[in-house]
């Protein structure tokens, strides 16, 4: 029920719109206030950890003002909201981001300086919120950032994992996983909402409503409570503040006092332990699905709490349930939140007592679905018996969705039994499996891929039949984008200042089309020199980071050649390190005089392997083994250095990406759905060495083919090559064979431990086509080297690239989603439009 304007409202208005205090005296007071009142410290006993916490809490106070206003305003306006449902949000740090958004960086720097701290050191105290694995999770974070900055009423929904992405240590060259206890110290960037708690049922049995065929009563005594934690998403250049609502399993109600009183202490807390585990850990799998029962329960807890919350908010508007799609759009970030579809159906049927047809209409008009991979090992499937046991009502609903869908298809394509078998949501395997991608597709009004080539591929492969049945228009493309706030303005201040000089102000941060103006300066000598110097400074900064994290000294004047991403066979880090081995071999063959003329190069790797992914872990070991030998080789010196930076994270990326000269995005064509770090590298003036895959293609189209180094076979050739290699031995060229020989001759320690990697190429059918692409890969490396030697040509490429990259702002992606999928409009928060 909406309150009428009152004195209280006016008080809130005055508070929310009072200008944020910017003078350092007020800022200092608020920092000291938190230091003393929140953390019971005094300025004399303040260390940098507490300086961070006190400053962060003080910034948060300023953010809250806007956050409250935003939510209140959207409620009152009854604005249509978009809900981005994602099991992953790879947020990284928030402090610096918030300072920039509020335009308070200088002031806090000064204040902290006065009490003896450097802002950079204080920023470094913050731990990453690493609630994601890689591309999909970081995309979700960029998208909520763009919604906030573009004034779209949008919320992220996710899970508050107690342990985020594991921390990676390297011991004896091997990856070791250490738990990420990121909540051990106070987290200024979350707000517990004990009043926003929903019960979530599991197991139990169903009782049919005798008066309503569509309705069941689900009786269960396993009920967990999901409690909300809200995370602010500061909008830059706007007062809008977005929200990510993360659910945590609340366990208090599960304490069994009777058991405790009878002395059964383990039994008394057993229920709590079982429940808490649900939101304890992020599954560390990127582009794979492991089908664990705990993961299914995690997904359901998330979906149920989210759907209950969305409906509760909608109900406050007083509008009938049939109008839900007018006020809510829900985006499924891959299939992980797909249980939201049967959960919404359950609520509409069993609680709202809607008819099946009406409920289905509301559901499909509300949901839209994004696919992020076509790797078969990533396709989510749940065994029917497991689903039936844990979520009996949902299994029933899924059967019925499938039945009606198949009946409609049978009507249009009578007698095509094979078609029905192919498209059925239930796979007729033993046991039967629910195909979540099909459920998401049938339950949504739009389905999209994440780059043009990927959206085409899914239409020709997994959704081919669905395109024929449901029409071309349902299947669209939304090429990914990245936030210019974090991935330019925040991580690359020197380049950003240069752009600001050219544009005239910093408005390009929210309107990236303005970077086009850089083209006008491409011939300006002074500008070109400053551009080069900014890159050099970033390389210097990375060299220091490398020294502290690995102990390896690298020369910042060398070419920085970077591949940082999750370690996965399809991403082909193996091909990269094999080319490094070959390079090492070539350098060793040269006379010292010839070698001295070679281009100096630092090859930088970083990335985590899923804990159960043995091959990927062996690749990490090989990289480290090669690094150890090459870096210790005095003959080679600075001509070649190899570095594996441990514990890749959002924060590490913010150091690494601005410092790259060349970055590698070398997946087998057709396997990388989009990639987003490729965009970040180019937006920071780096050049790509890549395959004709994912968003590399569109980047090439935008910036011009002179600015990018392509190599390798094309997506449409892959099947033929794979077919050939299934029946024929691959033929490694001399370079690749040389690399294999060096490993086998124990150049990098015991070669036997790497034999399985070699075998994956020579005996395992070379699924990722290393032997096919290796010759053109080496050629492309040579072309890069020639280009880098011509510094003037290189600077031109770098400037022109950035100037032409505006398409890859996540603001553009979000605008397209808003217009073509969600049907929502920006709502600018202003006091006059509050109507009071």
In whole angstroms, what separates CA 596 from the centre of its chain?
Answer: 42
Give the range of 292-300, 371-379, 394-402, 580-588 binding ligand OAK by CB under 6 A. 371-379
Q: Provide the minimum distance between the beta carbon of 425 and ligand OAK in the complex, in angstroms, as a whole number.
A: 19
Site size toward ligand OAK (CB under 6 A) is: 18
**Measured distance CA(78)–CA(316) in Å, rounded:** 10
**Region 319-338 residues binding ligand OAK, contact defined as CB under 6 A:** 334
Min dist. Cβ of residue 818 to ligand OAK (A) = 18
Hey, is 319 helix, strand or coil? coil
Strand 381-383 to strand 433-435: parallel, antiparallel, or no bridges (unpaired)?
Answer: antiparallel
Q: What is the dihedral of CA 224, 225, 226, 227, to 10 degrees?
A: -160
First to last CA, the chain: 17
Query: To the nearest whole angstrom, how small is the minimum distance from the Cβ of residue 588 to ligand OAK?
Result: 36
Is 135 a residue that touches ligand OAK (CB under 6 A)?
yes
Q: Which is nearer to ligand OAK, 136 or 772 (CB)?
A: 136
- For ligand OAK, the closer of residues 82 and 450 by Cβ is 450
Residue 153 is encoded by which pair of tokens?
């009423």
Residue from 272, 287, 707, 747 binding ligand OAK (CB under 6 A): 287
Residue 264 DSSP symbol: -
CB of 405 to ligand OAK, least distance (A): 24
**Number of H helices and number of E strands within the chain?**
34, 24
Q: Which of 80, 535, 566, 601 is catalytic?
A: 566
Q: Does 437 bind ligand OAK (CB under 6 A)?
A: no
Candidates 129-137, 175-183, 245-253, 772-780; binding stretch for ligand OAK (CB under 6 A): 129-137
Q: Which stretch binds ligand OAK (CB under 6 A): 403-411, 420-428, 667-675, 788-796?
A: 667-675
Q: Does 707 bind ligand OAK (CB under 6 A)?
A: no
* Among 82, 136, 348, 577, contact with ligand OAK (rule: CB under 6 A): 136
Measured in degrees and rounded to the nearest 5, phi and psi for residue 483 equal -80, 120
Active-site hit among 215, 528, 571, 583: 571
Quick check: 673 binds ligand OAK (CB under 6 A)? yes
451 to each of 137, 146, 373, 478, how far by Cα in Å? 16, 18, 11, 6
Alpha helices in 78-127 (DSSP H): 95-101, 105-114, 119-123
Quick check: 686 binds ligand OAK (CB under 6 A)?
no
Residue with tokens 């124990």: 746
Q: Mark 454-493 with x for binding to ligand OAK (rule: CB under 6 A) and - for no binding.
A: --------------------------x-------------
CB half-sphere exposure, 762, CA atoms < 13 A = 14
Q: Which is nearer to ligand OAK, 459 or 583 (CB)?
A: 459
Please compute Rg for the chain using Cα positions.
Answer: 28
Tokens of 509: 């941060």
Asked if 86 interacts with ligand OAK (CB under 6 A), we say: no
693 binds ligand OAK (CB under 6 A): no
Tell the smallest beta-carbon distance from residue 575 to ligand OAK (Å).
17
Quote the CA–CA distance of 188 and 259 in Å, as a whole number: 37
Q: Which of 138, 201, 680, 804 is catalytic?
A: 680
Identify residues 377-396 at the interface with ligand OAK (CB under 6 A). Answer: 378
Q: Which listed residue (86, 363, 479, 676) binds ligand OAK by CB under 6 A?
A: 676
Minimum distance between the CB of residue 480 and ligand OAK, rounded to whole angstroms?
A: 5
332 burial (CB, 10 Å; 0-12 / 13-18 / 19+) is buried
Please check whether residue 142 is in contact with residue 292, taking contact to mean a CB–CB distance below 8 angstroms. Answer: no
Catalytic residue among 80, 160, 245, 372, which? 372
Q: Is 571 within 8 Å of 616 (Cβ atoms)? A: no
Sign of the alpha-carbon torsion through 523, 529, 530, 533: positive
Query: CB of residue 565 vs ligand OAK: minimum separation in angstroms?
Result: 9
Q: How far is the CB of 372 from ligand OAK (least distance, A)?
A: 4
372 lies in the site for ligand OAK, by CB under 6 A: yes
- Phi (first) and psi of residue 771, to 5 degrees: -70, -30
Quick one: 59 or 374, whose CB is closer to ligand OAK?
374
Instruction: Answer yes or no: 50 catalytic.
Output: no
Does 368 bind ligand OAK (CB under 6 A)? Our answer is: no
Q: Residues near 474 by Cβ (< 8 Å), separated by ≥ 6?
A: 445, 446, 447, 466, 467
373 binds ligand OAK (CB under 6 A): yes
Query: To the nearest whole angstrom, how small is the minimum distance from the Cβ of residue 373 to ligand OAK?
Result: 4
Q: Binding segment for ligand OAK among 112-120, 182-190, 313-321, 673-681 (CB under 6 A)?
A: 673-681
Query: Using CB under 6 A, which residues numbered 256 to 275 contact ligand OAK?
Result: none
Position 569 contacts ligand OAK (CB under 6 A):
no
Cα distances (angstroms) measured from residue 177 to each of 136, 169, 284, 604, 754: 21, 6, 10, 21, 21
Q: Which residues pair with 154 in a beta bridge?
A: 82
Query: By C-beta, is 370 or 798 nearer to ligand OAK?
Result: 370
Structure tokens at 768: 């990722």
Assess contact for 189 and 232: CB atoms under 8 A: yes
**Nearest approach, Cβ of 302 to ligand OAK (angstroms)?**
15
Q: CB 87 → ligand OAK: shortest distance, Å?
A: 9
CB 65 within 8 A of CB 15: yes
Report the DSSP beta bridge partners of residue 131.
Answer: 89
Q: Which stretch binds ligand OAK (CB under 6 A): 398-406, 670-678, 747-755, 800-808?
A: 670-678
Residue nearest ligand OAK, CB atom distance: 135
> Cα dihedral angle (777, 781, 786, 787), rounded to 10 degrees?
90
The reply to whether 139 sits near ligand OAK by the rule CB under 6 A is yes
- Interface with ligand OAK, residue 697, by CB under 6 A: no
Candidates 215, 346, 565, 804; catalytic one: 565
Q: Is 34 an annotated catalytic residue?
A: no
CA 172-659-587 angle, to 5 degrees, is 60
From 601, 579, 504, 546, select the one nearest 736 (Cα to Cα).
579
Of the pair 631, 677, the CB lying nearest ligand OAK is at 677
The span from the CA of 423 to the CA of 780, in Å, is 42
State the burial class of residue 406 (Cβ atoms within 10 Å of its Cβ: 0-12, 13-18, 19+).
middle
Instruction: Tell me the two tokens of residue 98.
Output: 């918030």
> Is 571 part of the annotated catalytic residue set?
yes
Residue ranges of E strands in 500-607 = 559-564, 601-606
Name the one range near ligand OAK by CB under 6 A: 91-99, 257-265, 395-403, 672-680.
672-680
Q: How far is the CB of 727 from ligand OAK (least distance, A)?
A: 29
Q: In what order do the strands lie in the sheet with 601-606?
A: 640-645, 601-606, 559-564, 662-665, 687-691, 708-711
Which of 434, 442, 450, 559 lies at the binding interface for ligand OAK (CB under 6 A)?
450
Binding segment toward ligand OAK, per CB under 6 A, in 29-37, 132-140, 252-260, 683-691: 132-140
600 is catalytic: no
Least distance in angstroms from the C-beta of 705 to ligand OAK: 22
Q: Which of 145, 225, 286, 561 binds ligand OAK (CB under 6 A)?
A: 286
Residues found in the chain = 836
> Applying CB under 6 A, which of residues 16, 674, 747, 809 lies at the interface with ligand OAK?
674
Q: Report CA-CA distances (Å) from 812 to 10, 305, 836.
A: 37, 30, 34
Residues in contact with ligand OAK by CB under 6 A are 134-136, 139, 286-287, 334, 372-373, 378, 450, 480, 672-676, 694
Catalytic positions, written as ranges: 372, 565-566, 571, 676, 680
């Amino acid at each position: 029920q909406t309150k009428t304007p009152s004195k209280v409202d006016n008080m809130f208005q005055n508070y929310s719109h009072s200008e944020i205090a910017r003078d350092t005296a007020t800022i200092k007071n608020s920092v000291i206030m938190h230091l003393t009142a929140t953390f019971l410290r005094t300025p004399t006993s303040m260390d940098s950890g507490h300086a961070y916490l006190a400053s962060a809490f003080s910034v948060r106070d300023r953010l809250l003002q806007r956050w409250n206003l935003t939510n209140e305003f959207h409620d009152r306006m009854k604005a249509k909201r978009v809900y981005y449902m994602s099991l992953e949000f790879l947020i990284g740090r928030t402090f610096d981001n918030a300072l920039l958004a509020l335009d308070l960086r200088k002031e806090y720097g000064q204040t902290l300086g006065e009490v003896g701290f450097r802002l950079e050191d204080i920023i470094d105290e913050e731990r990453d919120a690493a609630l994601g694995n890689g591309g999909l999770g970081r995309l979700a974070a960029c998208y909520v950032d763009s919604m906030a900055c573009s004034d779209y009423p949008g919320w992220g929904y996710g899970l508050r994992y107690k342990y985020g992405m594991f921390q990676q240590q390297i011991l004896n060259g091997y990856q070791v996983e250490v738990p990420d206890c990121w909540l051990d110290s106070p987290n200024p960037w979350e707000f517990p909402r004990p009043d926003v708690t929903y019960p979530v049922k599991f197991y139990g049995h169903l009782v049919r409503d005798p008066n309503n065929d569509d309705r069941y009563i689900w009786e269960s005594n396993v009920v967990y409570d999901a409690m909300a934690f809200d995370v602010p998403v500061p909008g830059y250049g706007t007062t809008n503040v977005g929200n990510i609502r993360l659910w945590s399993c609340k366990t208090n109600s599960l304490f069994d006092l009777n058991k405790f009183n009878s002395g059964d202490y383990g039994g008394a807390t057993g229920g709590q332990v079982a429940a808490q585990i649900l939101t304890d850990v992020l599954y560390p799998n990127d582009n794979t699905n492991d089908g664990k029962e705990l993961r299914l329960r995690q997904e359901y807890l998330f979906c149920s709490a989210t759907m209950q919350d969305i409906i509760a908010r909608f109900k406050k508007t007083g509008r009938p349930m049939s109008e839900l799609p007018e006020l809510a759009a829900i985006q499924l970030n891959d299939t992980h939140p797909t249980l939201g579809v049967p959960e919404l159906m359950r609520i509409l049927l069993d609680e709202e007592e809607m008819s099946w047809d009406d409920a289905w209409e509301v559901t499909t008009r509300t949901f839209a679905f994004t696919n992020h991979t076509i790797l078969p090992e990533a396709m989510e499937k749940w065994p029917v018996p497991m689903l039936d046991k844990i979520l009996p009502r949902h299994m029933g609903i899924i059967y019925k969705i499938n039945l009606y869908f198949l009946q409609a298809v049978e009507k249009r394509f009578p007698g095509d039994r094979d078609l029905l078998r192919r498209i059925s949501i239930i796979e007729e395997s033993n046991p039967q499996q629910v195909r979540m991608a099909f459920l998401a597709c049938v339950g949504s009004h739009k389905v999209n891929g994440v780059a043009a080539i990927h959206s085409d591929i899914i239409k020709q492969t997994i959704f081919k039949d669905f395109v024929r049945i449901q029409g071309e228009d349902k299947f669209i493309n939304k090429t990914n984008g990245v936030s210019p706030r974090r991935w330019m303005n925040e991580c690359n201040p020197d380049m950003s200042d240069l752009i600001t000089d050219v544009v005239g102000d910093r408005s390009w941060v929210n309107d990236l089309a303005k970077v086009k103006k850089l083209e006008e300066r491409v011939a300006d000598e002074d500008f070109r020199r400053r551009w080069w110097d900014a890159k050099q400074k970033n390389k210097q900064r990375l060299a220091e980071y490398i020294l502290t994290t690995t102990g390896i000294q690298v020369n910042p004047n060398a070419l920085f050649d970077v591949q940082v991403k999750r370690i996965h066979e399809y991403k082909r880090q193996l091909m990269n390190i094999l080319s490094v081995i070959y390079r090492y071999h070539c350098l060793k063959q040269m006379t010292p005089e010839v070698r001295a003329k070679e281009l100096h190069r630092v090859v930088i790797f970083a990335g985590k392997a899923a804990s159960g992914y043995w091959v990927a872990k062996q690749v990490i070991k090989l990289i480290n083994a090669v690094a150890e030998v090459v870096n210790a080789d005095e003959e080679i010196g600075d001509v070649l250095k190899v570095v594996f930076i441990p514990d890749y994270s959002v924060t590490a990326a913010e150091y690494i990406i601005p410092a790259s000269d060349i970055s590698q995005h070398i997946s087998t064509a057709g396997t990388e759905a989009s990639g987003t770090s490729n965009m970040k590298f180019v937006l920071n003036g780096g050049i790509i060495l890549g395959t004709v895959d994912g968003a590399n293609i569109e980047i090439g189209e935008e910036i011009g083919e002179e600015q990018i180094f392509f190599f390798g076979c094309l997506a449409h050739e892959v099947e033929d090559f794979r077919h050939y290699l299934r029946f024929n031995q691959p033929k490694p060229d001399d370079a690749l064979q040389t690399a294999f020989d060096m490993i086998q001759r124990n150049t990098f320690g015991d070669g036997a431990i790497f034999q399985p990697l070699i075998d994956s190429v020579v005996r395992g059918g070379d699924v990722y086509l290393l032997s096919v692409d290796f010759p053109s890969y080496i050629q492309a490396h040579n072309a890069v080297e020639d280009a880098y030697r011509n510094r003037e040509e290189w600077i031109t490429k770098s400037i022109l690239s950035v100037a032409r990259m505006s398409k890859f702002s996540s603001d553009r992606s979000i605008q397209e989603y808003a217009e073509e999928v969600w049907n929502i409009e920006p709502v600018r928060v202003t006091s006059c439009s509050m109507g009071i």
